[in-house]
Structure formats: C-alpha cells, structure tokens
Amino acid sequence: MKKNLMKFMAIAGTTILTMGTLSGCGSSNAETVAAGTAPQTTAAQGETAQDTPNLKGSISMVGSTSMEKFSTALSELFMEKYPNVTVQAEFVGSGAGVEAVNNGSADIGNSSRNLKDEEKANGVAENIVAIDGIAVITDSANAAEDLTKDQLISIYNGSITNWKEAGGADQPIVVIGRESGSGTRSAFEEILKVEDNCKYSNELDSTGAVMAKVASTPGAIGYVSLDVLDDTVKTLNLDGVEPSADTIQSGSYFLSRPFVMATKGEIAEQSDLVKALFDYIYSDEGTELVKSVGLIPVN
C-alpha cells in the first residue's frame, strides 16, 4: 500500500515539476500582460459603450520614421478605445507620406516637417499634432551660455573643437550624441542639416546616458528632448532664445519641428474614422499621449 503511494507520489511529483517547467514561462508572461492592460481595457470598454459603439473600419497612416514612436502609441491607444478599428502605420519617410496622402493611397500622411507650398497647393492640409523640441546641454560648470546656429553646426561637424571658439573657456569640446536610428538624433541632424556629417565622440543609446555623460564630463555637449532636463546639466540658449514650451510653440526656438498628420482636404471633410482619430489626438487623452512620448502638445 505505502509502496504504491510512494510510487504514485514520485510519478506525480515528476509530472508536476515538468509541467511547471514547461508552462512556467508562458503562464507568467500572460499574467503580466493581463495585469498591465486590464485597467486600460476596462476603461476603454466603458467609454466605447457610451459614445461610439459603431465605429468600424481601418485607417492607413504612412510617413515619417521620426514619428514612429508617436504613431505607434497613438494607434495602439486608439485601437484600444475603438476595438473595431484598425490603424495601420507605415514608416517610409515624410516625403513619401505626403505623396501617399496626396494620391489617395493613405488616409493620413505623417510628416516631421512643415508641408511645402506645392504640397499645400495640391490640397493637402497641414494638421500639426505635436511639436518635437530638442535642448542642447553642457556640463553645469561650462562658461558658454548661448550658441548660434552656425556655432552649433560647426561643433557637431567637427570644425570647432574648443569651447573658446564658442564663447566658453579654453577646453576641448566632447561631442556627445545618440546612436543612429534614434529619433532625437535624426531630428537634430535634420533641423541643422548636418545629416551624416556629425563627428560624435560618444554615441550613447539612451537619453539618460547622454544626460549622465554630459553632467560628468567637463566640456561635453549633448542634445536631449526637452522633457528630461534637470539641474545636473546646463541648458544652452540658441540664437539667444531659451528653450521652453512657449518659445517652441511660438517658433522662435529653432531646434524644434512640427509633427504633421497631413490629410487630403481639411479634417472636416474626412471620414468619420479619421475625424474620430483627430478628435482623439486633440482631446485631453491625446494631449497626455503627446506628452508621454516626449513631445509638446500644440494647444
């Protein structure tokens, strides 16, 4: 009797252990995901039931790679709110995005620059949904206060290598940037028109790393999104303008660019789906979303 019990225990034990090993990974993942999304889903369902139960269909979005983070976050949250809607986003570049919306192959063209006059002449409407602002930072002991656009370009393309040529003390400049592929880097290089000409001495893979490196290295210069600035580094004025949400919205701070979601014709002429998407972007939730991906809301 006891012997068989022992055998049974042995087999059962082994089986349970094996099953535990096999399923352990999968099940814990599932739980994490469920726990993470549960509150949002319930909230979204609550709202869907109230206002727009019957929105159905798909929206196609084509354009800027810089807007990938924003567009992805937007489409995820939007699809969560309207479960019957699919948002497809492709990231092929601003020009291609505007072209796609112009010839009707996409509902929305993402562009991380202002639309050109000839694009507007074709009836493409420029709907600015957010503004991307970048701050230039140095270590807090640096004497330099202000850089002109030309000085900033010269520092990053390697023609100025000492702070004494840029209004600072006699010390070498340590040029710090982000890795290729980073949205901040592409924005910075696009605005200054120094694409692929930058001579970085450090290419760090996160905003935090740039902040830490600049803070701890005398003579370092780096660029980060506006929203992460703190006291450990000194923020430089550019062309005499201090970076802030106000100066960026007014356009006087040059290291910023609009994120445009272009449509063929005004928003009011669009389908209900597209209208709902823009309503969402300009709503409080949308503003939160814009802030959460490190951008500045327009309104």
Distances in Å between the Cα of 289 and the Cα atoms of 47, 269, 280 are: 17, 25, 10
Q: Which of 108, 129, 204, 290 binds other proteins (CB under 8 A)?
A: 204
Q: How far apart are CA 179 and CA 190, in angstroms?
A: 15
Per CB under 8 A, 73 contacts other proteins: no
Per CB under 8 A, 1 contacts other proteins: yes
CB of 8 to other proteins, least distance (A): 6
Considering only the stretches 141-149, 214-222, 231-239, 263-271, report the one whose residues sit in contact with other proteins under the rule CB under 8 A.
214-222
Size of the site for other proteins (CB under 8 A): 46
Please report where in the chains the tokens 């949002």 appear, as a residue: 40
CA angle 299, 230, 239 (to 5 degrees): 65
Q: Which of 52, 86, 217, 252 binds other proteins (CB under 8 A)?
A: 217
Please report where in the chains the tokens 């900033």 appear, as a residue: 152
122-151 residues near other proteins, rule: CB under 8 A: none
Per CB under 8 A, 205 contacts other proteins: yes
144-203 residues near other proteins, rule: CB under 8 A: 158, 161, 172-176, 179-183, 186, 195-196, 199-203
Q: Tell me whether residue 212 is exposed, middle or buried, using C-beta atoms within 10 angstroms of its C-beta: 0 to 12, 13 to 18, 19 or more.
A: middle
CB of 229 to other proteins, least distance (A): 20
Q: How far apart are CA 129 and CA 293, in angstroms?
A: 13
Nearer to other proteins, 22 or 34 (CB): 22
Q: How far apart are CA 251 and CA 291, in angstroms?
A: 18
Is 255:147 a contact under the CB 8 Å cutoff? Answer: no
CB of 276 to other proteins, least distance (A): 28
Residue 274 makes CB contacts below 8 A (sequence gap 6+) with: 59, 107, 108, 263, 267
36-55 residues near other proteins, rule: CB under 8 A: none
Per CB under 8 A, 224 contacts other proteins: no
Contact residues for other proteins, defined by CB under 8 A: 1-4, 6-8, 10-11, 14-15, 18, 21, 65, 68, 91, 158, 161, 172-176, 179-183, 186, 195-196, 199-205, 209, 212-213, 216-220
